[in-house]
A and B are shown apart, each in its own frame.
Chain A
Amino acid sequence: MALLWALPPVVVFGVLALVIPPTRFVFVPLALVSGVVGAVYVLVMPRWRYRVHRWEVTEDVVYARSGWLWQKWRVTPLSRVQTVDSLRGPVQQAFGLTGVTLTTASTAGAVKIPGLDRVLAERLVEELGRAVRRHGGDAT
């Protein structure tokens, strides 16, 4: 995933440098800088995120922790959850992963749990759906 963000600038600057020789003095350093920044990003970000990301569902509350430099820790009671969605992007699909999103009546209350194992995610969605129905109410 990180590669998707890190690679394009390097490639673009590299191609520009190759295609338009007079501009090389600008684009070669740019390509190098973006390459170094991108490499650090690719090496650091996923590990850091992996260490930060946690989630847990208890009897009546779901919580998820995410981020790396900026970190977030969300707690939402199941009684306030309105919908339980799962989403698989093309990259997530390639790795057999699924993201689960719980939405509430507040735009600020959604809880996202990205990058779960597919089978686990399916089971989680089912369980959460049942728990949400059990709580009922209009959840505002």
Chain B
Amino acid sequence: MTAWERVDPRLVLVGASWPVGPVVGVVVFDGWSLPAVITLSSLIFTGSVVGGVYVLRWATTRYRVTATAFEVRSGLVFRRARSVALDRVRGVDVSAEPLHRLFGLATVVVSTGEGGLRLDGVTRARAERLRDRLRPAGGEVRLAAFDWAWLRYGSLTFWSVGGVGVVMGGAYRVLDSFGVKPYELGFVREVYFFFAGLPVWAAVGVLVSGVVVLGACGSTAWFVETWWDFRLSRSGDTFQVRRGLLTTRSMTVDRARVRGVQVTEPLLLRPVRAARTNAVAVGLGTAEDRSTAPKSALLPPAPLALAWHVAEETLGAPVSSDVSTPVPVASDGCTPALVALPLALLRHPRAALRRRLGRVPLVVLPPVAVVGGLGWWLSPFLVHIAWVAGLMGLVAGVWLAFDAYRSLGHGVDGEFVVMRSGTFARRTVVLRRAGVIGWQVSQSPFQRRAGLATLILATAAGVNAYRVHDVLVADAVDLGRWAVRGVQLSGSLSGSLSGSST
């Protein structure tokens, strides 16, 4: 495969076919009038310009895989020749957008630590072969595959409710841009009068349940689109995720790049004992950033035991169920068993709970004060709303604070640091000790008064910083010291933090 090859000419069709939809739309709705002709000609003109760009791209793009590197040349005026050494390849990602799929094409993205090399418009078969060439595969082991039973987890995401608002807003804007006033539509008026005829509590109930049902449907649809035909497999030390309905994606990650895993249990998924698993790997997206979150995903929301099974497979080592041993722990051979759940971790000091409880009024009271103040000024109705909402907020806040405290935990296990925190999304991060680049203890004035500190472990993977919140200062120092192996601290140094009350 050392001769230069071209991408598939169907790429031009992909590029030039987008005006087809609008053109058909204009013809169907507007017929043949002067404005329609003008719109049509401008659409066709733009389409042909874009098509021309794609013809150039097809004509000038060449790629090849040599014994040592993957090379891509492109461009007419600015000629670019880029190459990635094969041993630097950190992942190969094959994806196909709907238009690409229509024409049987795919995009190959070869990622390295610093960036990536993108090859657009090769056939699916060629893309698969390229991936195998760049990432030689051995015997493949299937670790997990899509299960329809997981569909019920799909509807249980938080932002499904917010999603309804976004969709409604979007629909309103689209209608508005067409000059349609939604409130003048007979259908919408009927709905409005229907609500106006109901008592307040019924109207609110119908609205809320409607939004929840719509949201659940929406997020289920999103879940299906994202995770359709999901497969997680391992060949040798390489893991591969394939998934997607309209846009199919495939992600490959080498175990050598894996610094740890993150198991996330969102609030709504905790009662049904489900969680999702992300890899903490160099050169892969993070679990926090929404735009890149799917990239590091190894598993959709799935049963907790499976999530941990995948986590252990990815780490290449079992995580023992009881990591509530204090630092340092003898790294004896762990028993290769599934994690017994729930994971037992070291609890954090009670002062951490007090800190969480202390934040509740800070969050709840200001809005209550604002609404209450307005009510005192305008109408007693608002005052009632304010104190009822304030009371409910306080109860919910206290519950959340206790939950957040229950989530807090850390421990060490063989070669891993385990840390857990969060209430809306409880995240358990298992970080390989060898992947920790350095550590940092930070203390706010409030933490200093409570004798607590936050330990931040730095790594080159994932979000780069993983935190152990609110532990005793001495424990933070011990854990950090243990995490970065072979670090000797002079006595003055260890003493200078613990003994400080500046």
> Chain B residues with Cβ under 8 A from A72's Cβ?
440-443
Q: Which of A63, A71, A76 has a CB less than 8 Å from the CB of B493?
A: A63
User: When the two chains form their complex, are residues B496 and A71 in contact, meaning their CB atoms are under 8 A apart?
Assistant: no
Q: Mark B421-450, 1 if CB is under 8 A from A, else 0.
A: 000000000000001011111111100100
Nearest neighbor of A63 in chain B, beta-carbon distance: B493
Q: Nearest Cβ in chain A — how far from B473, in angstroms?
A: 9
> Chain A residues with Cβ under 8 A from B437's Cβ?
76-77, 80, 104-106, 109, 139-140
Q: Which of these binds chain A: B39-47, B149-157, B287-295, B480-488?
A: B480-488
Could you tell me the distance between the alpha carbons of A74 and B455 in the complex, rounded to whole angstroms?
10
Q: With A51-B502, A60-B486, A61-B489 as known contacts, state yes or no: A74 contacts B439, CB within 8 Å.
A: yes
- Is B83 in contact with chain A by the CB < 8 A criterion? no
Nearest neighbor of B492 in chain A, beta-carbon distance: A56
> Chain A residues with Cβ under 8 A from B460's Cβ?
104-106, 140
User: When the two chains form their complex, are residues B438 and A104 in contact, meaning their CB atoms are under 8 A apart?
Assistant: yes
Count A-side interface residues using an 8 Å CB cutoff. 31
Nearest neighbor of B483 in chain A, beta-carbon distance: A75
Residue of A52, A74, A106 with most partner-chain B CB within 10 A: A106
User: When the two chains form their complex, are residues A108 and B465 in contact, meaning their CB atoms are under 8 A apart?
Assistant: yes
User: When the two chains form their complex, are residues B489 and A77 in contact, meaning their CB atoms are under 8 A apart?
Assistant: no
Within 8 A of A (CB), among B228-285: 282
User: When the two chains form their complex, are residues A75 and B497 in contact, meaning their CB atoms are under 8 A apart?
Assistant: no
Q: Mark B448-473, 1 if CB is under 8 A from A, else 0.
A: 10000000101110001100000000
- Is B490 in contact with chain A by the CB < 8 A criterion? yes
Could you tell me the distance between the alpha carbons of A122 and B348 in the complex, rounded to whole angstroms?
43
User: When the two chains form their complex, are residues A70 and B444 in contact, meaning their CB atoms are under 8 A apart?
Assistant: yes
Within 8 A of B (CB), among A60-82: 60-61, 63, 65, 67, 69-77, 80
Nearest neighbor of B459 in chain A, beta-carbon distance: A106
Q: With A69-B444, A75-B484, A140-B282 as known contacts, state yes or no: A106 contacts B465, CB within 8 Å.
A: yes
Could you tell me the distance between the alpha carbons of A48 and B500 in the complex, rounded to whole angstroms?
12
Q: With A77-B486, A77-B487 as known contacts, state yes or no: A109 contacts B445, CB within 8 Å.
A: no
Could you tell me the distance between the alpha carbons of A54 and B502 in the complex, rounded to whole angstroms?
13
Nearest neighbor of B442 in chain A, beta-carbon distance: A72
Q: Nearest Cβ in chain A — how far from B318, in angstroms?
A: 25
Could you tell me the distance between the alpha carbons of A80 and B433 in the complex, rounded to whole angstroms?
13
Q: Nearest Cβ in chain A — how far from B471, in angstroms?
A: 14
> Chain B residues with Cβ under 8 A from A71's Cβ?
442-443, 448, 502
Count B-side interface residues using an 8 Å CB cutoff. 33
User: When the two chains form their complex, are residues A75 and B439 in contact, meaning their CB atoms are under 8 A apart?
Assistant: yes
Could you tell me the distance between the alpha carbons of A111 and B441 in the complex, rounded to whole angstroms?
12
Could you tell me the distance between the alpha carbons of A105 and B489 in the complex, rounded to whole angstroms?
22
User: When the two chains form their complex, are residues A108 and B484 in contact, meaning their CB atoms are under 8 A apart?
Assistant: no
User: When the two chains form their complex, are residues B438 and A109 in contact, meaning their CB atoms are under 8 A apart?
Assistant: yes
Could you tell me the distance between the alpha carbons of A77 and B448 in the complex, rounded to whole angstroms?
26
Q: Which of B438, B443, B448 has a CB less than 8 Å from the CB of A74?
A: B438
Q: Mark A98-128, 1 if CB is under 8 A from B, else 0.
A: 0000001111110100000000000000000
User: When the two chains form their complex, are residues B439 and A106 in contact, meaning their CB atoms are under 8 A apart?
Assistant: no
Q: Which of B438, B445, B448, B500 has a CB less than 8 Å from the CB of A80?
A: B438
User: When the two chains form their complex, are residues B440 and A56 in contact, meaning their CB atoms are under 8 A apart?
Assistant: no
Q: With A56-B490, A106-B459, A107-B465 as known contacts, state yes or no: A75 contacts B480, CB within 8 Å.
A: yes
Q: Nearest Cβ in chain A — how far from B344, in angstroms?
A: 28
> Chain B residues with Cβ under 8 A from A75's Cβ?
438-440, 480-481, 484, 487, 489
Q: Which of B465, B481, B487 has a CB less than 8 Å from the CB of A60?
A: B487
Nearest neighbor of A61 in chain B, beta-carbon distance: B487
Q: Nearest Cβ in chain B — how far from A140, in angstroms?
A: 4
Q: Nearest Cβ in chain A — how far from B435, in angstroms?
A: 8
Residue of B113, B439, B440, B459 with most partner-chain A CB within 10 A: B440
Nearest neighbor of B460 in chain A, beta-carbon distance: A105
> Chain A residues with Cβ under 8 A from B480's Cβ?
75
Residue of A56, A59, A63, A107 with most partner-chain B CB within 10 A: A63
Q: Nearest Cβ in chain B — how far from A119, in angstroms?
A: 24
Q: Nearest Cβ in chain B — how far from A137, in angstroms?
A: 12
Q: Nearest Cβ in chain A — how far from B183, in angstroms?
A: 44
Could you tell me the distance between the alpha carbons of A78 and B364 in the complex, rounded to whole angstroms?
46
Could you tell me the distance between the alpha carbons of A31 and B502 in the complex, rounded to whole angstroms?
31
Nearest neighbor of B455 in chain A, beta-carbon distance: A73
Measured CB to CB, the residues of B under 8 A from A are 113, 282, 435, 437-445, 448, 456, 458-460, 464-465, 480-481, 484, 486-490, 492-493, 496-497, 500, 502
Shortest 8 CB-CB contacts between residues of A and residues of B: A76-B438, A108-B465, A109-B458, A105-B460, A108-B458, A106-B458, A109-B438, A73-B441
Sample of 20 A–B contacts (CB below 8 Å): A58-B488, A58-B489, A60-B487, A60-B488, A61-B489, A63-B493, A65-B497, A69-B445, A70-B442, A71-B442, A73-B441, A74-B439, A74-B440, A76-B439, A104-B437, A106-B437, A107-B464, A108-B456, A139-B437, A140-B113
**17 more A-B residue pairs beyond the given contacts A61-B488, A70-B444, A70-B445, with a C-beta to C-beta distance below 8 A:** A51-B502, A52-B502, A58-B488, A58-B489, A73-B443, A74-B439, A74-B440, A75-B489, A76-B438, A76-B439, A77-B437, A77-B487, A108-B458, A108-B459, A109-B437, A109-B459, A140-B113
